[in-house]
Structure 1
């Protein structure tokens, strides 16, 4: 890379690598580097690792699931287990055995009333009629089942088998007692028999025998008085009582099928172990690995392409945001390099914390100091970029800490990261001392804790220990963020020459050795510097420049005057002006030297470069008019004209808005101070005159101040000066002051 020569303030040439800080190629390389950082950070979460493994071989490593898929084997086992837990289904049938009682008593009346039949004939008829009545009643039941539940042959066969196997056989001696029953006996017996049968058949009877054993007790407690009637009713009731609860295989199969269908699929979740190290890979394991594209024989490049496109979108969005920024990072590659480094450190911190999730600490992601990056960006670069980075860090966190589920993002970590990052930006935006970072960290902890509690309650699946653990991690995250930001701030400030607001506030402390030296040895210059700081800060803020930098830079801009304080008009209190006794050329050298001396003193005390630049550039290449014209006046007749360049400051001209504004405020303060009783018109005329002279002299050619901004600066300086000199202002009717400019030229 080419070297550019530059003449320093002491006249010696210096060399520096030229162009890289604004090189478009370097800029593109930095953005590409940032994209690679994103890709590397997300690759292990998005792109599945593939393995060279075969069925029957032992795995040399533990293989985890990369996405959520259904476990077919596990699902089938769960279905079979659900079906196994289903109890057999029984059908409770309405047997209508009361009608069987009616039919039996009807036959008893009919046969006993037939006087042509002998007792022996009646007994024979009863032996054949009772089974027939039972069979007819059963056949009616079978027909009802065929109609109500067609195709359920299983139930029908169960009923047939049960009725056949459990049919009660009336003792032989009872048949000989049937013919002796009178009509009155039958009329008394029938309601008792019906009542007993009805009461027994109201129960669920898979087996009729237990119910039949209870009949004797019920008969004995009935209204029947004859022993014969009781014995016969007891036998008839036992004969009529049948089972009414039958196994229904068809309904059982349907219930088990419903249980299988209602079983939720068993999933292999992302992060679950598919194969443990040392396990022999079975065919089922091999199929699962193949389904998840974890085998090298089936390489899938689409995830790589998708991740590359996503990272490109991240970088493109950041590039467009930086391009539209009004901060120096828009064109300054050094600041862009710092931004990339902040991203790298933040992502590294997130990844390091993410390692804890592999050790079964799922909630450890809440400990990640995600807000560290946004806080550093807010302090060192600017608020707008910090807000944009907050959204990007939230997306990264939702991917990096997503360890379960089939989704690419875990919204819990994304939401938490967004909340803490945004909170850190709002909390740090007015930071003016190191303790402000601690306060911002506490705000981050509180905001994160509230978010975690909210998410935990919404999830509705939590334990007290889980809440306390998540809460503790989140609070610790805010404190860890504070420690890291405070620790990294000096590194960035020194390495990249960044003057953060916190550093500027520290440098503005009156106890700083240089400011104490300025106050004790040159009180006039100290007062002048404070006044310039007030004026330049107001002017800078009116045009969007760094007001705090202007104030602090003003405090140090004339520090070189402490080398020879008596040669500057503001320090000549109660003493003569030594310039009256020396040649103008020597006076010029002494006056010009204060800029060079100031830069050297600032270097010795490790004052950051932006402030050194202000001390070096605030006079630019302006002409020391007083001594130039004094030299011309003393010049002998006929001598060669004195070149103006010999009485100009060596520069360089102001390279920034802040340096130019301080130069204007420096000249304006000295000029207005030289007026005995300044009026409003005199102040306005003096301010605009100084700005115009510097503009015509080309002092603003190397900074980006516009004419509109110069007009705004003039108005702001007028307002500030009116506030400072209000007690000494003469109104238009008063006489103008005399002797303007002499002291100003010597400052």
Structure 2
């Protein structure tokens, strides 16, 4: 194991990434790889088996459809028979035959016997032709009409044929309108059976204008002969309606979580087929889903690894931060899985309640925004699988898209948060944008009921608030367990009412003012090179807290008193000055201050040389004595291990040096800043942090600009040249 123990161990790092992959696999394996059972047809089931997803019960669905089809009433077609035309044709034929004097009465009787059926058949054929032309494909209706006209044809009594030749032209003229009227009136009704209409013929004829018994009798017989059914069973139409009824019948579903078979119950063929259709039988083992899930988990881990590799945060090499990331993933996935249990209770939209943004928000605050962005994508993918219900594809965008939106919203809402209240505001933003996304999806889908819409909206709003509550509750745990200095914690530590800062202000006001000035300088310098400006500012407040043990030995606190160092040995002065770093670390530990703050207090001087006391000691050294080694008058270190500690060290030296100048000029400030940076660079004080020469140049410029603002009213501007005069005017205007 490399120096640094498990915190930098490659083996531990590899193990953590493997655990992440295992977490992804476990999170979705129940959705991708359903449980199977060893069930035999005709045997007794050893377990109670539940439906793993919503499944259409084909047998019950078919029964319901057939029942709906049976309830459909037969469809009838009402045809226009045009029987009045047949009446006119019969009366015309009677006129023609009766007017023929060459035919004997007996011959006329024989003609009538053949004419009436022929005319009936001709009229029927004409009707068949019209049916064929209007609906050629409806052969069943045509057959139904033929059968009805054939079976319900009226048979004229034999004696009627002997009476027909006796009818005169006047009789036929009187009979025709009455016969047409009677037939028209009776055929206006829907007649499935012609006999019902024929029974009313006598009543209508007897109330007509006809006075002769013979004509009334002949009209009755002609009307009965002409009347036919006009309502026919339409088999094709009936089948179409039954087909529509089957089609409109909703399928019968077995819902997720319903019992398919109870323990000890006999496995019937229907149950066996149902289990087979839901892929719950161990008929053949396929490892392809497992392989696919392993590959998917590996891809998710690889994508996360690549983002971590490109990150400039400590997680790039530190296992502590990686362990914290794994723990955040575990908490987020656990929350998602717990909420998913509600889907088995028929709350299909409960997935919107999941605090998916919890992980994204914690990662943004504790680790960094880039890792939070890729994590948001991963959380969205997991949500689209975990909450998938009945979707054809593996991923259900109805949950994946809202999860991505709330995660991204939480990142941008919380990235610059410096107060705990900001977390609650971010939670409200999550609720708002999550609800908007869900409403948009509902409008697009347009299949939700009002109850489902209300529940989805309520779940979404609750999710944002639940996320905020969880983040606020979990933040102290991560800050203490992992020694994390979040922006929120830093802001709390910068409160002037903190006991150490109050002690610094009341006992060493000079040091307090110095620390505030160093904080302003270091924050600006840190932000110019991408370091943590807030950490520099707060760390500066505490970097000289050790001076409170012997405040009078430090020049900024020596107001109207003699300098005690003038009367003591240089070695003792050195010990007192050097001790303030060690004393500060001890005081910070006593108040449980985070390690980054303690490190700044310990490292801000590095191993620099106390030149004044070193040269004083050399001056007091007697001739012949061994030379005093520089190491005795150096700070014990360690050297700055981070950009922030190095920047505070520079700002500390610059502030003290510039403060010693009575009326500093721009050139003096610039010379002083660059001299201090160069001396520390030449002394190797930046060898153990990752500040580059370019960073040092940027820091120098930023410190000059900041000091220019601080000492604006005191800076003397050279007036020897017009150019210098112009520069002075511009600076004053700024």
Give the TM-score of the pair, scaled to structure 1: 0.89
Give me the whole-angstrom Cα distance separating, in 2, the residues matched to 1:438 and 1:270.
38
- Distance change (3 Å), C-alpha of 1:582 and 1:57: same
Kindly indicate whether residue 559 of structure 2 is the aligned counterpart of residue 559 of structure 1: no
Q: CA distance change for structure 1 residues 130 and 70 in 2, over 3 Å: closer, same or farther?
A: same
- Return the match for 1:663 from 628, 646, 649: 649
Mapping 1:280-291, distance limit 5 Å: 280-291=266-277
Match of 2:589 among 574, 585, 603: 603
**Could you say what secondary structure the match of 2:337 adopts?**
helix
Does the CA-based 8 Å contact 1:620-1:650 persist in structure 2? Answer: yes
Is the 2:366–2:484 contact (alpha carbons within 8 Å) kept by the matching residues of 1?
yes
Question: How is 1:453-468 mapped onto 2 (pairs within 5 angstroms)?
Answer: 453-468=439-454
Asked whether 1:521 is paired with 2:514, we answer no
1:20 is paired with a residue whose SS is helix
- Please say if 1:183 is aligned against 2:173: no
Q: Which residue, out of 617, 624, 640, partners 2:610? A: 624
Seen in structure 2, the aligned counterparts of structure 1 residues 302 and 274 have a Cα distance that, compared at 3 Å, is farther
**Residue in structure 2 matched with residue 406 of structure 1 by the alignment:** 392
Residue equivalent to 2:33: 47
Greater Cα offset, 30-39 or 109-118: 109-118
User: In structure 2, what is the equivalent of residue 319 of structure 1?
Assistant: 305
Q: For 1:574 and 1:703, how far apart are their aligned partners in 2?
A: 40
Q: 1:277 aligns with which of 246, 255, 262?
A: 262
Deviation at 1:20, TM superposition (A): 2.6
Return the offset for 1:315: 0.9
SS of equivalent to 1:575: coil
1:722-747 per-residue CA deviation (whole Å, 9 max, x = no partner) reads 1111222122359xxxxxxxxxxxxx
Aligned counterpart, 2:194: 208
Q: 8 Å contact 2:57–2:254 — kept in the other structure?
A: no
Residue matched to 1:243? 229
Question: In the alignment, does 2:578 pair up with 1:592?
Answer: yes
**Alpha carbons of structure 1 residues 96 and 705: separation in structure 2 relative to 1, 3 Å:** same
Does structure 1 retain, via aligned residues, the 8 Å contact 2:83–2:183?
A: yes
* Alpha-carbon spacing, 1:321–1:267, altered in 2? closer, same or farther (3 Å): farther
Query: Is the 8 Å Cα contact of residues 167 and 239 (structure 1) preserved in structure 2?
Result: yes
**Aligned-pair CA distance for 1:163:** 3.0
Native 8 Å contact 1:370 1:393 kept in 2: yes
Distance 1:73 1:274, change over 3 A: farther
The answer as to 2:617 corresponding to 1:654 is no
Alpha-carbon contact 1:370-1:417 (below 8 Å) kept = yes
Q: Measured at CA, do residues 461 and 572 of structure 1 come closer, stay the same or move farther in structure 2, by a change above 3 Å? A: same
> Helix, strand or coil for the counterpart of 1:275?
strand
2:730 is matched with which residue?
none
Aligned to 1:741: none
Query: Structure 2: where are the runs of 5+ without partners?
Result: 721-734
- Secondary structure of 1:727 counterpart: coil
Matches within 5 A, 1:437-456: 437-456=423-442
Q: What do residues 98-125 of structure 1 show as CA deviations (whole Å, max 9, x unaligned)? A: 4533443344334433446665665565
2:485 matched residue in structure 1: 499
In structure 2, the partner of 1:388 is 374
Q: Which residue of 1 aligns with 2:680?
A: 694
Q: Classify 1:198/1:708 alpha carbon distance in 2 versus 1 (closer, same or farther; 3 Å).
A: same
Q: For residue 335 of structure 2, what is the aligned residue in structure 1? A: 349
* Equivalent-residue separation in structure 2 for 1:365 and 1:515 (angstroms): 47
Alpha-carbon offset, residue 430 of structure 1? 2.1
Partner of 1:296: 282
3-state SS of 2:232 partner: strand
Corresponding position of 2:523: 537
The separation in 2 between residues aligned to 1:625 and 1:199, in whole angstroms, is: 132
Moved more, 163-172 or 376-385: 163-172
- How much has 1:650 moved relative to structure 2? 0.8
The answer to which of 463-472 and 339-348 deviates more is 463-472
Decide whether the 8 Å contact of 2:606 with 2:639 is kept in 1.
yes
What is the aligned partner in structure 1 of residue 729 from structure 2?
none
CA distance in 1, matches of 2:210, 2:600: 128
Match of 2:562 in 1: 576
* CA offsets 1:175-222 (integer angstroms, 9 cap, x no match): 443233111221332243234334544544221123223434544565
Change in 2 beyond 3 A, CA 1:28/1:174:
same
> Is the alpha carbon distance of 1:152 and 1:440 closer, same or farther for their aligned partners in structure 2, counting shifts above 3 Å?
closer
Structure 2 partner of 1:15? none
**Shift in alpha-carbon separation, 1:536–1:254, aligned structure 2, 3 A:** closer
Q: Secondary structure at the match of 2:6?
A: coil
Q: Is the 8 A contact 1:437 1:486 kept in 2?
A: yes
Report which stretch shifted further, 243-252 or 309-318.
243-252
Shift of 1:267: 7.5
Cα offsets for 1:35-55 (capped at 9, x unmatched): 111111111111111111112
Judged with a 3 Å threshold, the aligned counterparts in structure 2 of structure 1 residues 351 and 258 are, in CA distance, closer, same or farther, namely closer
Of stretches 672-681 and 479-488 in structure 1, the one that deviates more from structure 2 is 479-488
Question: Alpha carbon RMSD of aligned pairs, Å?
Answer: 2.8
Deviations 1:400-439 (A, max 9, x none): 1122333322222222222222222222122112222222
2:468 to 478, 482, 493: 482
8 Å CA contact 1:271–1:404 kept in 2: the answer is: no
Match of residue 377 from structure 1:
363
CA distance in 2, matches of 1:527, 1:164: 120
> CA offsets per residue over residues 525-557 of structure 1, 9 Å max, x none?
111111111110110011010001001111111
Rounded to whole Å, the distance in 2 between the matches of 1:702 and 1:456 is 57
**Alpha-carbon distance change, 160 to 538 in structure 1, aligned in 2, over 3 angstroms:** closer
Q: For the residues of structure 1 that align with 2:135 and 2:465, how far apart are their CA atoms?
A: 73
Q: Please, which moves more after superposition, 124-133 or 574-583?
A: 124-133
Distance 1:144 1:721 in 2: 106
- Give the TM-score, by structure 2 length: 0.91
Secondary structure at 1:726 match in 2: coil
Using the alignment, how far apart are the partners of 2:178 and 2:61 within structure 1? 58
CA deviations 1:545-599 (Å, max 9, x no partner) are 0001001111111111111111111111111111111111111111111111111
Q: Structure 1 pair 428/139, CA: closer, same or farther in 2 (3 Å)?
A: closer
**Do the aligned residues in 1 keep the contact of 2:183 with 2:223 (CA within 8 Å)?**
yes
Which residue of structure 1 aligns with residue 494 of structure 2? 508
Inter-partner Cα distance in structure 2 for 1:144 and 1:480: 74
**How many pairs were matched up?**
719
Native 8 Å contact 1:68 1:405 kept in 2: no
Q: Report how far residue 314 of structure 1 moved.
A: 1.1
Q: How does 1:671-682 map to 2 (within 5 A)?
A: 671-682=657-668
